[in-house]
């Protein structure tokens, strides 16, 4: 079954959502995409998960893709968590007997981690890909303070999306990313402040409350989010059941590299182990 449509968020905003459910699924994976992109960039991952009998719920984060509202803008980072919970609640209601997982890439990894702290008992586990769980060099120290100050007077100031050709080693992926009209070319200053400063600060202040079973994946040569972010997250969370894999030679988008099937195989094996536990 493949369905798409709009789901109403807590504040009335319409979130664009796509469900891809195989016959007799053994679990559901809610995918949370990264900054500036959209759910359509996860077609291959969805296909592979479906082949392993996992249903997939994808949605465009607010400010992104086909979701309604101001593109490239958020009022507060907490809205990301409320939106993710809207999708989780829908997935749970429509699949009452199945374990629900969340998989987040980059900014989606930040959202996934923060969701795991705020909503402690809703999921069977979480998966992270190049998760942005540490303060970015672009907003460290004085730079962050200046951004915060300017934001008080010009929150809707547009700032160019800084994504470089280091997104992925496959240049075809980078080329397609840059020409994709659904990817953001810029975002408001308030977006950056809420996500990279206020949001990441909140996450790290509460990191020890995180306790979900989790699989943490990162590219060793990631030029956008350092692998140290995932190592730090792994060390500081309180999860008893946690696993980290650093993939040698890969950039940021590990699920789009030449060896993406190897990465996805690790994801499917981990999901299988969690679903077996719940039987």
Is the confidence at residue 139, as pLDDT, over 50? no
pLDDT, tens digit, 9 for 90 and up, residues 140-175: 544 545 555 555 555 566 777 776 678 999 999 999
Model pLDDT for residues 226-235, shown as the tens digit of each residue: 999 999 999 9
Which has the higher per-residue pLDDT, 61 or 148?
A: 61
Q: What is the CATH number of the domain that holds 238?
A: 3.40.50.1820
Q: With the C-alpha atoms ordered 223, 158, 177, 31, is the resulting torsion angle positive or negative? A: positive
Parent domain of 64: 2-277
* Predicted TM-score (pTM) of this structure: 0.94
> Once rounded to an integer, what is the mean pLDDT over residues 32-54?
97
Residue 180 has pLDDT above 90, yes or no: yes
Domain total in the chain: 1
Model confidence pLDDT, tens digit, residues 75-97: 999 999 999 999 999 999 999 99
């Amino acid at each position: 079954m493949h369905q798409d449509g709009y789901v109403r968020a807590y504040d009335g905003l319409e979130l664009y959502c796509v469900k891809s459910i195989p016959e007799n699924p053994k679990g559901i994976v809610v995918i949370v995409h990264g900054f500036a992109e959209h759910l359509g960039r996860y077609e291959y991952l969805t296909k592979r998960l479906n082949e392993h009998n996992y249903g997939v719920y994808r949605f465009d984060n607010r400010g992104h893709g086909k979701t309604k509202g101001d593109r490239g803008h958020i009022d507060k980072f907490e809205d990301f968590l409320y939106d993710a919970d809207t999708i989780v609640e829908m997935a749970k209601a429509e699949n009452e007997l199945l374990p629900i997982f969340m998989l987040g890439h980059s900014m989606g990894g930040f959202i996934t981690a923060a969701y795991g702290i705020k909503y402690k008992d809703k999921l069977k586990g979480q998966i992270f890909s190049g998760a942005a769980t540490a303060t970015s060099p672009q907003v460290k120290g004085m730079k962050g303070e200046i951004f915060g100050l300017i934001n008080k007077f010009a929150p809707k100031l547009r700032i160019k999306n800084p994504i470089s050709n280091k997104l992925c080693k496959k240049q075809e992926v980078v080329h397609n990313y840059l020409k994709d009209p659904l990817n953001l070319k810029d975002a408001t200053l308030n977006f950056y402040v809420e996500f990279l400063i206020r949001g990441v600060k909140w996450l790290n202040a509460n990191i020890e409350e995180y306790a979900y079973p989790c699989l943490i994946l990162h590219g060793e040569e990631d030029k956008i989010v350092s692998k140290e972010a995932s190592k730090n997250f792994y060390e500081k969370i309180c999860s008893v059941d946690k696993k980290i894999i650093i993939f040698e030679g890969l950039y940021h988008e590990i699920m789009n590299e030449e060896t993406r099937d190897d990465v996805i195989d690790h994801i499917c094996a981990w999901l299988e182990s969690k679903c077996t536990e719940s039987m």
